[in-house]
Amino acid sequence: VLDCRTAARRVFCAAFNASDTHLADQTFDLVVIGAGAAGMMCAATAGQRGRRVLLLDHATKLAEKIRISGGGRCNFTNLKVSADNYLCRNPHFVRSALSRYTPRDFIGLVERHGIRYHERSWGQLFCDDSAQEIIDLLRAECDDGQVSWNTPVTIQAVEATGETAPDAIRFVITTDAGHYSARSLVIATGGLSIPKIGATPFGYRIAEQFGLTVVAPRPALVPLTLPPETLARLAPLAGISFEVQARCGRGEFREAALITHRGLSGPSILQVSSYWQAQAYEDGDWEAVGLNLLPDVDAESWLLSHAGERALLGNLLAEHLPRRFAHAWCELHGWQRPLNSFRHAELRQVAATLADWRLAPSGTQGYAKAEVTLGGVDTQALSSKTMEARKQPGLYFIGEVMDVTGHLGGYNFQWAWASGHAAGEHA
């Protein structure tokens, strides 16, 4: 948990010159800072309820994260969304918003806009053509709600007026394009992943400014790095991918793992990375990730049925694993020998290692490669129905800036839509 006592009263951000000043010094019902997935959904929802809404963002290009998502096709939701798909210190928090704005609701919007889409494995829905269509959809929905925009703009300070009545001016937002005042303020500035397209800790600083706790952020859905001794054997195999059952803490996922020049990636590894902590236990061991390399095989019976044969263990394993990986894995363990040189007890040990190969990552590839940020504004301080801060009426946090992190597979966008909609219905 970050120390909120050190938070500055004012928040200064990286500079971009705002060009659009005609809205300056105006009053809005609602100002939304951050025109990404959650911010646009919230602005459109509130605007279509007749609220006077202003969207502010410091980026020169709109919703870059949507544009690069899902390999350019945006995995915009998942057919099977439940609270179990999210990590949050307060695990029930997500239920209310997710049940009031469901994947079906967003699919309805996608269909109304004539966007063609398809389902991939595990209920994941992607655009047939381009993620840009989702950005255009949100932009059109904002236009329907007559939302005003000012981007790029630098937010210099946010201050509360001290008024608390619902219809009073409760916030003044100072930007390089002038001041805006608002009855409600929504913070939708996302997490820290991919700083080069505009991620900043702005939302965390605002939370601290208003006395809210921030759960320490860390990269998630991120490739893991391996220590040099393991990497020396595996890095030459970079690009090889195969299905595993990966485990770490409470997280367990059956999907592909990919060997990279720096360690491991692929969907199963990204998924367990959200459960992995870069911490050593008291006995000095680092937290490990466990991989079942043969999830469909009873490895012990299979190996024992081949005991006594002259083939190399690596050649037998190559029946179920990529050949080069099978041999490298045997060399890593000193097992590159004929099967007839293994005692039964040794084969049982090989089987146990195949079923639970423990790898202690040396770290992650960090925010530059992370799809999302774990941690964020502590949900204990927010209403699960409206996303409003209990301590500061009129102040809302939505999307990834909050301590809500979805699994890989469209769950993070579904949270952006659901939390944005919840705040937009209320603010």
Q: Contacts with ligand FDA in 307-366 (CB under 6 A)?
A: none
- Residue 78 and residue 124: Cα distance in Å, rounded? 5
Shortest distance, position 271 Cβ to ligand FDA, whole Å? 13
Q: Are 210 and 160 in contact (CB under 8 A)?
A: yes
How many CA atoms does the CB half-sphere of 67 hold within 13 Å? Answer: 9
Our finding on whether 266 is near ligand FDA (CB under 6 A) is: no
- The amino acid present at 187, given as its one-letter code, is I
Give the x-and-dash track for 387-406 against ligand FDA (CB under 6 A): ------------xxx-----
Q: Are 115 and 137 in contact (CB under 8 A)?
A: yes
Angle at CA of residue 380, ends 64 and 46, nearest 5°: 50
The SS3 call for residue 337 is coil
Query: Using CB under 6 A, which of 58, 170, 247, 327 touches ligand FDA?
Result: 58
Give the distance from CA 2 to its chain's centroid: 20
**Between 11 and 326, whose beta carbon lies closer to ligand FDA?**
11
Spell out the SS3 assignment of 227-283: CHHHHHHHHHHCCCEEEEEEEECCEEEEEEEEECCCEEECHHHHHHHCCCCCCECCC
Our finding on whether 407 is near ligand FDA (CB under 6 A) is: no
Our finding on whether 208 is near ligand FDA (CB under 6 A) is: no
Q: Contacts with ligand FDA in 65-94 (CB under 6 A)?
A: 65, 68-70, 74-75
| Torsion angle of the four alpha carbons 127, 131, 135, 138, in this order, in degrees rounded to the nearest 10 | 20
- Residue 14 and residue 87: Cα distance in Å, rounded? 30
Query: Segment contacting ligand FDA (CB under 6 A): 43-51, 56-64, 165-173, 286-294?
Result: 56-64
Shortest distance, position 75 Cβ to ligand FDA, whole Å? 3
Query: Segment contacting ligand FDA (CB under 6 A): 102-110, 307-315, 350-358, 409-417?
Result: 409-417
Count Cβ atoms within 10 A of the Cβ of residue 240 and give its class: 0-12 exposed, 13-18 middle, 19 or more buried: middle
The SS3 call for residue 369 is coil
**Between 86 and 325, whose beta carbon lies closer to ligand FDA?**
86
Shortest distance, position 234 Cβ to ligand FDA, whole Å? 24
Our finding on whether 189 is near ligand FDA (CB under 6 A) is: yes
Give the distance from CA 58 to its chain's centroid: 21
Query: Segment contacting ligand FDA (CB under 6 A): 54-62, 139-147, 302-310, 346-354?
Result: 54-62
Our finding on whether 202 is near ligand FDA (CB under 6 A) is: yes
Query: Using CB under 6 A, which of 148, 150, 193, 273 touches ligand FDA?
Result: 193
Query: Segment contacting ligand FDA (CB under 6 A): 37-45, 208-216, 350-358, 383-391?
Result: 37-45
Our finding on whether 39 is near ligand FDA (CB under 6 A) is: yes
Please name the residue that has the structure tokens 């990269």: 219
CB-closest chain residue to ligand FDA: 36
How many CA atoms does the CB half-sphere of 408 hold within 13 Å? Answer: 28
**Between 110 and 416, whose beta carbon lies closer to ligand FDA?**
416
Q: Contacts with ligand FDA in 13-32 (CB under 6 A)?
A: 13
Q: Are 89 and 403 in contact (CB under 8 A)?
A: yes
Q: Take residue 179 and report the two structure tokens written for it.
A: 């001041």
- Residue 151 and residue 55: Cα distance in Å, rounded? 8
Task: Write out the residues near ligand FDA by the rule CB under 6 A.
Answer: 13, 33-39, 57-59, 63, 65, 68-70, 74-75, 155, 188-190, 193-194, 198, 200, 202, 371-372, 399-401, 410-413, 416
